[in-house]
Chain A
Amino acid sequence: MTHGEVTAGTTHVVPHHFDSPEQAFEASKLGIWLFLVTEILLFGGLFVVYIIFRALYPEMFHEASHHLNKVLGGINTVVLICSSLTMALAVDRTRQNDSPKANQYMLMTLFFAACFMIIKYVEYSHKFHEGLLPGANFTFEAIQHPKTPLFFSLYFMMTGLHGIHVLAGMGLITWVLWRSNKGQFSSAYYTPVELVGIYWHLVDLIWIYLFPLLYLIG
């Protein structure tokens, strides 16, 4: 295979240091998986803090979590699961050379992601209003335990970091949607769609743990 060969059906050029499009695809995928490992360890730090403090103050976590909105959290879980489905379908359609349908699925994914952020906004503004704020800004008085601000520090750090990932994912999906719309992807080359999809599922995966850990204590 000569360097810089144009693969059939697209304008994508396989970088010259790869032997074949397959190898390029596999290398990219290994890259995204390694990235996901770092992501898990990034969130892992917060999970460790969570585990230690929950072990130290179980009754405080129990009481504080009652001040989170289980219903909104549950709706957001469903919303993210739906967005994961539409993203998986978008990747599937792209691979089947059905870009128009894939674009629709990506738009739906963006819609769900936006829903998630709006619900998150409603939740956050409610917490701000009540004074359920992290650390020294905590002014809520109905919870007695002196360590309660700790729970809300964790809540805002964990959901905040996750929210940043949702926003980044929305940007990435917009980018692949734009490229897909220009007809740049096909069964021969769809690496960016695949990788953005994998990243998006990780965002879902992390929320799957955050939801019971923060909202569903007892």
Chain B
Amino acid sequence: MVHKEKKHKGHAKAYIKVWVALLVLTIITVVVSYYNFGTWNILVAMLVATVKGALVCLFFMHLLYDNRVNQVVFVSAFAFLGIFVGLTASDELFRTTEKAVVVAQEASTPSGADMNKLRVASPQLVEKGKQLYSVQCAVCHGAAGKGDGPGAPALNPKPRDFTSGYWRFGGQPTHVFKTISEGSPGTAMAAFGTLGVEERWSLVHFVRSIAPNPPDDKPEDLAALGGDKKTDQGPGTMDQGLQKPVQQIPISFAMKRLAKEEMAASDVAVLPEGKQAEGLGEKLYQANCLSCHGLSGKGGVPITRISVNPPVYLKTKDFAKADGAWVNDKNVFVDIVTKGLPGRGKPGIAHFSSGEWDSLYQYVQSLR
């Protein structure tokens, strides 16, 4: 005897009953899909599918009459599938996604009228900022804002000393707000966009309260930050622009924006209009090197992002600070420019003629 069921006269009748049941269940699941029961739709659909699947397994695949080992083996597949789904979902669905951050920010966004209030310093805001500062900022910037916190010695560049009166990105309230919200690329200053809008403004006012003569916002500051011509609505427009630094935008647009923001802090990496190259070396430099090394060879142009949060970039070096062998040896220079520096973001450039190499080398030397 090969099979337990051989005793029976065949299963045709049972199969046809199962078939009818499967057809009825198919009709049910299609009909249900035309009505909107919210989450019940998916639950009903999966329940029906599972009943259908069970019928197919138990009768058509005769798992019902099969031996215990095969039953356990097949059911184990679903146990493994459960582990697969469960572990992936527990990671993926509980991450702080960009979406969640936007939602959190939207939830903490005051209305337009409140926004105007927040932009003006008040004793309450400064006090709130002071408390937040001691938790969020003092580790690096120091308890008194002198840039001498316990974390400072490890950092390069050093954290800002607010009492120095120097502001890298400007000390106007909107500028400080932007720096707090978006961080300072290339430094350890992270983006604190996850703090609520009110929290960030309170920090702005506290930091400005300990600085000597901080500048006030000018109309063009509001206009520039808002990216909008409606200067009369300045604060509201600008704040709306700042609230959602992580909303979804096309990658190409993001890259352009990123490049634009970065350039501000480094050498000019685009040829100003109307500027003409004077010699062959300058011409070659502008065509091949300018976009990364900058117009005056001061470098500082970010070429590779090596850390996301805080954003840290590998930047081109200032030629004047160069100490490599190429400084004194044209052959080394030619070699580096031809082959590039793999792993350091320096691409290899096409070969030039020997005369062109001479001019380019001379020009780069002249930038030092």
A74-B33 Cα distance, complex, nearest whole Å: 12
Q: Let me know if A205 and B53 touch, CB within 8 A.
A: yes
State which of B78-86, B160-168, B330-338 sits at the interface with chain A: B78-86
Q: Let me know if B10 and A198 touch, CB within 8 A.
A: no
Residues A92 and B12 in contact in the complex (CB < 8 Å), given A40-B77, A84-B60, A201-B56: yes
A36-B57 Cα distance, complex, nearest whole Å: 11
Q: Let me know if B30 and A74 touch, CB within 8 A.
A: yes
Q: Let me know if A52 and B89 touch, CB within 8 A.
A: yes
Residues A41 and B60 in contact in the complex (CB < 8 Å), given A26-B67, A212-B49: no
Residues A201 and B60 in contact in the complex (CB < 8 Å), given A55-B93, A74-B26: yes
In the complex, whether A37 has a CB less than 8 A from a CB of chain B is yes
A47-B109 Cα distance, complex, nearest whole Å: 37
**In the complex, what residues of A have CB within 8 A of residue B41's CB?**
216-218
- Distance of A9 from chain B, by nearest CB (Å): 12
Q: Let me know if A48 and B88 touch, CB within 8 A.
A: yes
Q: Let me know if A205 and B69 touch, CB within 8 A.
A: no
Residues A208 and B77 in contact in the complex (CB < 8 Å), given A30-B70, A51-B85, A70-B30: no
A26-B65 Cα distance, complex, nearest whole Å: 13
Question: Out of B23, B53, B60, which one reaches A88, CB within 8 Å?
Answer: B60
Q: Let me know if A212 and B33 touch, CB within 8 A.
A: yes
Which range contains the number of A residues in contact with the other chain? Answer: 35 or more
Residues A37 and B73 in contact in the complex (CB < 8 Å), given A77-B26, A205-B56: yes
Contacts between the two chains (Cβ within 8 Å), count:
138
Residue count of chain B within 8 Å CB distance of chain A = 54
Question: Out of B3, B15, B52, B66, which one reaches A208, CB within 8 Å?
Answer: B52
A197-B99 Cα distance, complex, nearest whole Å: 47
Q: Let me know if B84 and A48 touch, CB within 8 A.
A: yes
Q: Let me know if A208 and B74 touch, CB within 8 A.
A: no
- Distance of B52 from chain A, by nearest CB (Å): 5
| Per-position 1/0 for A40-71, Cβ under 8 A of B | 11001101100110011000000000000010
Q: Let me know if B26 and A78 touch, CB within 8 A.
A: yes
In the complex, whether B6 has a CB less than 8 A from a CB of chain A is yes
A190-B26 Cα distance, complex, nearest whole Å: 31
In the complex, whether A134 has a CB less than 8 A from a CB of chain B is no
In the complex, whether B16 has a CB less than 8 A from a CB of chain A is yes
| Per-position 1/0 for A140-154, Cβ under 8 A of B | 000000100000000
Q: Let me know if A41 and B45 touch, CB within 8 A.
A: no
Q: A74-B30, A205-B56, A217-B42 are in contact. List 19 more A-B contacts (CB 8 A).
A: A22-B1, A33-B70, A37-B77, A40-B77, A47-B81, A47-B85, A48-B89, A55-B89, A55-B93, A70-B33, A81-B22, A92-B15, A93-B10, A95-B3, A146-B248, A187-B6, A197-B60, A212-B48, A218-B36
